[in-house]
Amino acid sequence: MDPLAMLVDVCVLYSVYAILAISMELEYGELGLPNFAKAAFFAVGAFSVGGLSARLGTWLLGWSWEGSFRERSWLYATMVTKQVAENPLLGLSILAVVVVVAVAGAALLGVLASYPAIRLREDYLGITLIAFSETVRVIARNDENIVGGTFGAGVVDVFAWAGSFRPYALFAFAWGLMLLTWAVFRELSASRYGRVLRAIRDSELAASILGRDVVKMRITTLVIGSVMAALAGVVYSFYMGAVNPDDFTVGKTFLVVMIVILGGRGNPLGPLVGAGVYIALDKTLSFLKPLLRLPIDVNYFAYVVFGLGLLLLLAKRPEGLLPESPNTTLRHLKALRSGQRQIAAGL
């Protein structure tokens, strides 16, 4: 593979895990509520693409769908992709619709998942969210009309119009979403909203006594984090070119939690750094796999190395690679500088 194309491919995959880590950082790092249903919201974005792109494309082209979705999704996805190669507006229309559906679906599912988060303690909440995540996956796995069941579903290449520049178009889309997601997260973290989240994380009782609506903040944060995860699912489905429910197991959720802890929980740059370390490690081990002769399945070797590395890191640096630092706002900086000038004038 061309080195530049390989770099673009890695960067797109990095953006997927970076968006997932940012969403988990908002929920876990800022609010202190680990969302163990993260894989479900990740899946919602991917299922929106896998379940709608071929259907929507055939409808926009005026074609009639013949046969079951399981049997025909790959064929129609390929046929629509050929039309997209000649009609960019068709591809962009499909992209816009699936993004809107993914965002709306994730928001609704986020509201549904927030009710256990309001009423349950952390230990019971974790079990409930894991069960919720697996329920979403199992339903999609057994209902072939959603994304083809275990057979999976083909995805329309909405960037086929870019021709040989298709990987760069996907890269621009993926990184655009990643930067937008991080900018929104950074703005929320540095605002009054973020300060309330951290107050709830440090002491929910104290935040309630001070008049903060803890329930509302939990629901809002879970909805925002769910929408972010769905956007990662949209990028992932276009990156893979297919959608299969078995890609969205609970293991994906635990991986994202590890990335957040590795990068540094509570630090806005932590998700980006943690995702970068994971992708670098994963790709390096993928390259070395053929050279290794181990008595274990090398397909899971990356998880073993990543887990051991995380344990060693936490033994030395429990706060992660980037510890949480004071979140200074522009108004706070101005106040500090004003106070320093007054002190200097008094001296």
CATH topology of domain 3-261: ABC transporter involved in vitamin B12 uptake, BtuC (1.10.3470)
pLDDT tens for 58-105 read 999 999 998 889 889 999 999 999 999 999 999 999 999 999 999 999
pLDDT at 301: 72
Per-residue pLDDT of the chain (347 residues; tens, 9 = 90+): 677 888 999 999 999 999 999 999 999 999 988 889 999 999 999 999 999 999 999 999 999 998 889 889 999 999 999 999 999 999 999 999 999 999 999 999 999 888 877 777 767 788 888 999 999 999 999 999 999 999 999 999 999 999 989 999 999 999 999 999 999 999 999 999 999 999 998 888 888 888 888 889 999 999 999 999 999 999 999 999 999 999 999 999 999 999 999 998 888 999 999 999 999 988 888 777 777 776 666 667 777 788 888 888 888 888 888 887 766 655 555 655 665 555 555 54
- CA atoms within 13 A of residue 221's CA, in its CB half-sphere: 31
pLDDT at 260: 94
Q: What share of the chain is helix, strand, coil (3-state, %, to 5)?
A: 80, 0, 20
pLDDT at 34: 87
Structure letter (DSSP) for residue 80: H
Q: Which two tokens stand for residue 250?
A: 């609970």
In three state form, how does the secondary structure of 159-190 look?
Answer: CHHHHHHHHHHHHHHHHHHHHHHHHHHHHHHH
Listed by start position, the domains of the chain span 3-261
pLDDT at 113: 86
Q: Which two tokens stand for residue 149?
A: 């069941």
Quick one: which H or E segment has residue 273? helix 270-288
Model's pTM, two decimal places?
0.90
Report the distance separating Cα 122 and Cα 80, nearest Å.
Answer: 46
- CA atoms within 13 A of residue 50's CA, in its CB half-sphere: 33
CB 270 within 8 A of CB 322: yes
pLDDT at 334: 62
Report the distance separating Cα 58 and Cα 64, nearest Å.
Answer: 7
Please, what's the largest Cα pairwise distance for the chain? 85
pLDDT at 126: 82
- CA atoms within 13 A of residue 217's CA, in its CB half-sphere: 24
pLDDT at 317: 85
Q: For residue 344, count CB atoms less than 10 angstroms from its CB and return exposed for 0-12, middle for 13-18, buried for 19 or more.
A: exposed
Structure letter (DSSP) for residue 203: -
Q: Where are the beta strands (DSSP E) in the chain?
A: 153-154, 242-243
